[in-house]
Amino acid sequence: MHSYVIIDCGTNTFHLNKWQVLPEGSLHLVHAERIPVFIWPEPSPHGYLFSNLAMERMVEAFQQFKSHTQGIKPQHCLAVGTAAFRKALNAEQIQNQLFKATGIRMITLSGQDEAYWISQGIISVHPKNSINGLIMDIGGGSTEFIFADREGIQFLTSLNIGVSRLYQQIPTDDPLSRDDIQRIEQWLE
């Protein structure tokens, strides 16, 4: 039996899912794990960059995940970076360091590709032709909107609006004040 590992490297959390292909061809989830990382790139005079602390958290997460990739063919293990990796100017350097440290390869998804794969994940767990409406995935660095109906995906997009991005751009109180809400609404417009 073949096994596959997918690592979703989000802005706030890295998710690992390990799947096994059963004899009849279906997939069985063997292991799922989440590690909070909070890696949104920080502004610098040269653009947005991952900090050394964010890099340490990423390496620690990948090293923890590495035990679940043992014995799996490299082509059956994939890590995908999302909004934070699209934003950070040093993302490729970080991806190379993660590969050197753990042997796990990473690619960065475009926003459209991220929205597409989210849609495929949702569609795969629902009865055929049963989705009719808006799917929204609110992440740390981006938010994806997908409109699907019985005919399939009609529209999908990824917007650079995420919880970590908002938090970095607009300091707020806890709980949010009326002024905080107005500043957020103005920023979103």
Low-confidence ranges of the chain (pLDDT < 70): none
Q: What's the pLDDT score for residue 33?
A: 96
Q: What's the pLDDT score for residue 171?
A: 86
Distance CA(102)–CA(67), nearest Å, equals 10
User: Residue 118 CB: number of other CB atoms within 10 A?
Assistant: 22
Indicate the residue type of 97. Answer: Q
Distance CA(41)–CA(9), nearest Å, equals 13
Rounded to an integer, what is the distance from CA 141 to the centroid of its chain?
9
Report yes or no: 139 and 11 within 8 Å, Cβ to Cβ: yes
pLDDT digits (tens, 9 = 90+) for 72-88: 887 889 999 999 999 99
Q: What percent of the chain clears pLDDT 70, i.e. is strictly above it?
A: 99
DSSP string of 20-53? EE-TTS-EEEEEEEEEE---PPEEETTEEE--HH
Which positions ≥6 away from 37 have C-beta within 8 Å?
A: 9, 10, 12, 13, 14, 54, 57, 58, 61
User: Which of 146, 156, 6, 159 is CA-nearest to residue 69?
Assistant: 6
